[in-house]
Amino acid sequence: MSSKSIVKEHLIKHKWQYVFGVILLSISCLFQLLIPTFLEQFADRVQDSTLTSADLIKLLINIIIVGFIIAFFRSCSRIYIFRLSRILEKRVRRRLFTHWVKLPSQYYHKHRIGDLMSHAINDVNVIREVAMGGVFLSIEVVILITVAVIAMGMTINAWLTLLVILPLPGLTFLAYKFRFQIQERSTKVQEAIGHLTSTVQEFCAGIRVIKAYGQEKDERKKFELKNQHNVYTNRQLIQTNSLFNSVSIAIVGLSYLLSIFFGGMLVMNNTITLGEFVAFNTYLSLLIAPVENLGKVMNILQRGWASNKRLRTILNTEPEIKDAQDVTATSVDGQITIRNLSFAYPDTEELVLKNINLNIPKGSSLAIVGKVGSGKTTLLHLLMRVYNPPKSTIFIDGYDLYQIPLKTLRQSIGIVPQENFLFSSTIADNIAFDPANYNERQITNAAKLAQVYDNIIDFPNKFETALGERGISLSGGQRQRISIARSLIKKANILIFDDSLSAVDAVTEEKILQGLREQMINRTTIIVSHRISTIKDADQIIVLDEGEIVEHGTHDTLIKKNGIYQQMYEKQALKQASPLGTLSIKTKRR
């Protein structure tokens, strides 16, 4: 559903509420038009010298009562219409977010976060403005302009009315045109503030690196530039605003000038009374705001149209990774077969994986080693359908990957990604996502298995300790282990560790691996590592080189081959003071 149809659906759903809001606003507008008639009577009575103090008090009371009525109906209609527009805003934003959640991660590689934020905030705000200011102002503009001009022209003087309103379209045009420039410059001010904020934010986050490299002076310079730019953008905005205000005051002034000059002449030759002259000018003052708002409405509608177009483009983006029509598998056990898998990333030519063939029996372990960029993470991503592999190349339990519902597939895989990400939430939330899904014992157990329990209970709030942005208050190793706990709590049939023990020391690694041995019973495990110690006892080991399996076997067979694996082993054995044999995974298969 596009944002336009959401608006349509919203209008239909709340039509009676809108009608009610419009009635309230119309009442308020009509009451506003009573004020000039009061002033007319007042001025006429002054001119005739027939005004008594009782009349004066009556007039005052009338003005106060009408003022209250105007304020009451206007406020009620504002509350009504504005509330409805907030509901619409919530709906459009929810629709956008629901769609975004469905889009694959590559979409987020292609689009900058800043742009997405701008759609989620600015474009949705514009849609709300259409429903808020657009609806509210349009009604006010139509009623006030129509009734005021009719009252001026029909009841006072048509020629004078025509003359006086002649400059006013200029005000509408000005409001319409200038608002674009004001908005453009306001956006630049917002951007400048954003840059200033992120400079300070980055400075705070990177303070250790900055100090270590003696970059304080450069940082100051960088900040100064952003600070200057902020002042510059604000000055630009002030200039536009001032120019707009001056020109609009000149246009309004011209209307009043015409009214006073020609109106005064009409009073002098008794064509209109003094009261009518006063009423005429009061009508004119009531006209100014709606005439300016007419430009504003035109601007809001035009921007609404542009925002709607941008939102429509997003909402029409088909998620490339979605369930096929013929999803048949209902669960995943964990027997993985890969046949002739070659893969290039979308929009690229180069094959990142070449002719991969593998059979990973259920409950067994596969280890992948290989240089940086050899395609290890890519292979794991294809298994999880983070990217779409070619059809009929990856099979789980005999099902082509495309026959397995994405939800089932992802629920069946517990992954510790290479770049672990912790949310700005509590440790318990980070392990369980939603702690309501797991009890305290399960969360504790997962933390114990990942060897992070002792660290957690040392924190003041234990599992309820809040983590900063990306968990910066934790060490790299602690973060990795919380990520491991997150994968273990799932009890998934397939476990994937993408270089997940790189940030922990050898002793902790051994403890984690010991814990994992129990977990790996009956679960298919894939471990990517640069450390032979981690993978040595895997049931099968592959060595990837430029996307190809160049060696395949067990530790013992590979060590005899005198290939890449053997060289890695030699190098690492030289580095280690102790024998490597103690640090290994051993899958217990039933």
Ligand X SMILES: Nc1ncnc2c1ncn2[C@@H]1O[C@H](COP(=O)(O)OP(=O)(O)OP(=O)(O)O)[C@@H](O)[C@H]1O
Binding site for ligand X (CB under 6 A): 109, 345, 348, 352, 370, 372-378, 418
| Residue 377 interacts with Mg ion (CB under 5 A): yes or no | yes
Cα-Cα-Cα-Cα torsion 347, 353, 354, 355, nearest 10 degrees, comes to -110
> What track of x and - describes contact with Mg ion for positions 318 through 357 (by CB under 5 A)?
----------------------------------------
Please, which residue, 502 or 514, has the CB nearer to Mg ion? 502
CB under 5 to 8 A by kind: which of Mg ion, ligand X, none does 112 bind? none
Burial 61-89, CB ≥16 within 10 A → b, else e = ebeeebeebbeebbebbbebbbebbeebb
Query: Is the Cβ–Cβ distance between 205 and 246 less than 8 Å?
Result: no
Please, which residue, 418 or 508, has the CB nearer to ligand X? 418
Least distance (Å) between residue 532 CB and ligand X: 15
Please, which residue, 128 or 376, has the CB nearer to ligand X? 376
CB under 5 to 8 A by kind: which of Mg ion, ligand X, none does 574 bind? none
| Cβ neighbourhood burial of 574 (10 Å; 0-12, 13-18, 19+) | exposed
CB under 5 to 8 A by kind: which of ligand X, Mg ion, none does 578 bind? none
Least distance (Å) between residue 349 CB and ligand X: 11
Helices 168-205 and 274-315 cross at an angle (nearest 10°) of 40
Please, which residue, 155 or 418, has the CB nearer to ligand X? 418
Least distance (Å) between residue 545 CB and ligand X: 10
Least distance (Å) between residue 418 CB and ligand X: 5
| Residue 378 interacts with Mg ion (CB under 5 A): yes or no | no
The CA-atom distances, in angstroms, between 20 and each of 24, 91, 179 are: 6, 21, 30
Q: Which residue has the tokens 């395609």?
A: 375
Cα radius of gyration rounded to whole Å, the chain: 36
CB under 5 to 8 A by kind: which of Mg ion, ligand X, none does 374 bind? ligand X
Please write down the long-range contacts of 214-223, taking CB distance under 8 Å and 24 or more positions apart.
223/196, 223/199
Please, which residue, 110 or 217, has the CB nearer to ligand X? 110
- In this structure, is the dihedral angle defined by the CA atoms of residues 211, 216, 222 and 224, taken in order, positive or negative? positive
CB under 5 to 8 A by kind: which of ligand X, Mg ion, none does 372 bind? ligand X
Please, which residue, 240 or 500, has the CB nearer to ligand X? 500
Least distance (Å) between residue 224 CB and Mg ion: 39
Query: Is the Cβ–Cβ distance between 398 and 440 less than 8 Å?
Result: no
Please, which residue, 12 or 372, has the CB nearer to ligand X? 372
- In this structure, is the dihedral angle defined by the CA atoms of residues 369, 374, 379 and 385, taken in order, positive or negative? positive
| Cβ neighbourhood burial of 378 (10 Å; 0-12, 13-18, 19+) | buried
Least distance (Å) between residue 516 CB and Mg ion: 20
| Residue 587 interacts with Mg ion (CB under 5 A): yes or no | no
Tell me the C-alpha distance between 246 and 224, whole Å: 33
- Applying CB under 5 A, the span of 53-61, 259-267, 341-349, 418-426 interacting with Mg ion comes to 418-426
Least distance (Å) between residue 346 CB and ligand X: 8
Tell me the C-alpha distance between 253 and 281, whole Å: 12
Please, which residue, 40 or 551, has the CB nearer to ligand X? 551
Please, which residue, 169 or 373, has the CB nearer to Mg ion? 373
The CA-atom distances, in angstroms, between 551 and each of 238, 373, 380, 532, 562 are: 68, 17, 18, 14, 10
Size of the site for Mg ion (CB under 5 A): 3
Please, which residue, 491 or 552, has the CB nearer to ligand X? 552
**What DSSP element (H or E) covers 549?**
strand 548-553
Least distance (Å) between residue 401 CB and ligand X: 18
- Applying CB under 5 A, the span of 42-50, 130-138, 368-376, 457-465 interacting with Mg ion comes to 368-376
Tokens at 430, concatenated: 């980070």
Least distance (Å) between residue 583 CB and ligand X: 20
Tokens at 287, concatenated: 């006209």
Site of interaction with Mg ion (CB under 5 A): 376-377, 418
